[in-house]
């Protein structure tokens, strides 16, 4: 770099200013300032998502069929559960799937990264945040189908990592055969059922439900939420575990409203 020119001073100034902003906003004291800006900007983002990507316009017949399919899956899962339980518990299962916990509706205002028909989104941004009682690791669902969990929360917005995103793992169980395993997101809208011991039975089209992974502090994924259906099964006698594709009943990128499970 040669002698300081006209751009060196602004370059260093803004670099230092950015770092300074980063440091001061790490403190909790300035969160309300960020919250104010979020509150101002997110309606614009909501309009932007509608205009540029037509989240609201994408409610096609396919979307409606997917939702119907998800609702049917919920019913099927219930039916299979009911078969396992005795008749005395029947009335209990007639209640909604998430009876004791509060669901908070939130609008999807952003998808990241997303290119229709090429790359499915791994994250959603919703317009509800800590001021609405949302905490990190809260579950996001729609029609009893788990869509993801909250990874970042600010005052008026939250970032949702979809269950199909890379790095997303949680325990699951199959509805019909009761096989336990781990659902692992592969990114781009794909996920697999992994770590299922060979002695467990996997059946195609069996419903995959979440296992109970609620922590002592109330965070985590509750059991019984629908993850998807089993697709192709990969089972080789030489390997320790068998795997299967999980077909998600809903496309999270086509949801305009999702529900956040308040813990």
Partner 1 sequence: MTEDILFIIGLLLSICIEGAGSFFPITLSVLVVLSLIRKGEIIFLYAFVSGLLLDILLLRSLGVTSFVFCLLIGLLFLYERKYEIQTLPFVLAASFFMTFFYLLFFRAPYIFIQSFLSAIVSCMLFLFTRRFIKPKETRTHYSL
Residues within the interface to partner 1 (CB under 8 A): 1-2, 5-11, 13-15, 17-23, 25-26, 34, 37-38, 41-42, 44-45, 48-49, 51-53, 109-115, 118-119, 121-122, 125, 152, 154, 157-159, 166, 187-188
Q: Smallest Cα–Cα separation from 256: which of 52, 105, 128, 152?
A: 105
CA separation, residue 84 to residues 95, 193, 200, 253 (Å): 17, 23, 17, 34
Interatomic CA distance for residues 184 and 171, integer angstroms: 9
Tell the smallest beta-carbon distance from residue 157 to partner 1 (Å). 6
Tell the smallest beta-carbon distance from residue 246 to partner 1 (Å). 19
Contact yes or no for 138/260 (Cβ under 8 A): yes
Interatomic CA distance for residues 54 and 47, integer angstroms: 9
* Residue 158 or 202 having the CB closest to partner 1: 158
Tell the smallest beta-carbon distance from residue 248 to partner 1 (Å). 18
* Residue 4 or 105 having the CB closest to partner 1: 4
Of the chain, the end-to-end C-alpha distance in Å amounts to 55
* Residue 108 or 202 having the CB closest to partner 1: 108
* Residue 73 or 150 having the CB closest to partner 1: 150
* Residue 135 or 195 having the CB closest to partner 1: 135
Tell the smallest beta-carbon distance from residue 84 to partner 1 (Å). 39
Task: List helix spans (H) across 25-97.
Answer: 31-53, 61-84, 90-93
If residue 22 lies in a helix (H) or strand (E), which one and from where to where?
A: helix 8-24
């Amino acid at each position: 770099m040669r002698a300081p020119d006209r751009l060196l001073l602004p370059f260093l100034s803004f670099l230092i200013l950015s770092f300074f902003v980063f440091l001061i906003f790490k403190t909790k004291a300035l969160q309300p300032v960020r919250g104010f800006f979020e509150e101002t900007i997110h309606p614009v983002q909501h309009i932007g998502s509608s205009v540029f990507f037509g989240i609201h316009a994408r409610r096609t017949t396919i979307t409606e069929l997917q939702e119907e399919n998800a609702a049917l899956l919920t019913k099927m899962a219930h039916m299979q559960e009911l078969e396992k339980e005795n008749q005395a518990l029947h009335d209990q299962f007639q209640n909604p799937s998430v009876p004791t916990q509060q669901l908070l509706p939130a609008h999807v205002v952003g998808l990241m990264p997303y290119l229709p028909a090429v790359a499915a989104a791994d994250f959603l941004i919703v317009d509800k945040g800590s001021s609405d009682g949302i905490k990190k690791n809260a579950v996001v669902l729609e029609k009893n189908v788990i869509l993801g969990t909250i990874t970042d929360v600010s005052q008026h917005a939250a970032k949702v990592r979809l269950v199909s995103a890379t790095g997303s793992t949680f325990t699951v169980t199959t509805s019909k055969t009761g096989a336990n395993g781990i659902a692992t997101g592969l990114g781009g809208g794909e996920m697999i059922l992994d770590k299922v011991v060979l002695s467990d039975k996997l059946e195609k089209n069996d419903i995959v439900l979440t296992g109970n992974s609620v922590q002592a502090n109330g965070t985590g994924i509750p059991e019984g939420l629908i993850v998807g259906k089993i697709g192709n099964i990969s089972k080789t006698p030489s390997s320790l575990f068998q795997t299967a594709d999980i077909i998600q009943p809903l496309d999270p990128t086509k949801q305009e409203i999702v529900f956040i499970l308040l813990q």
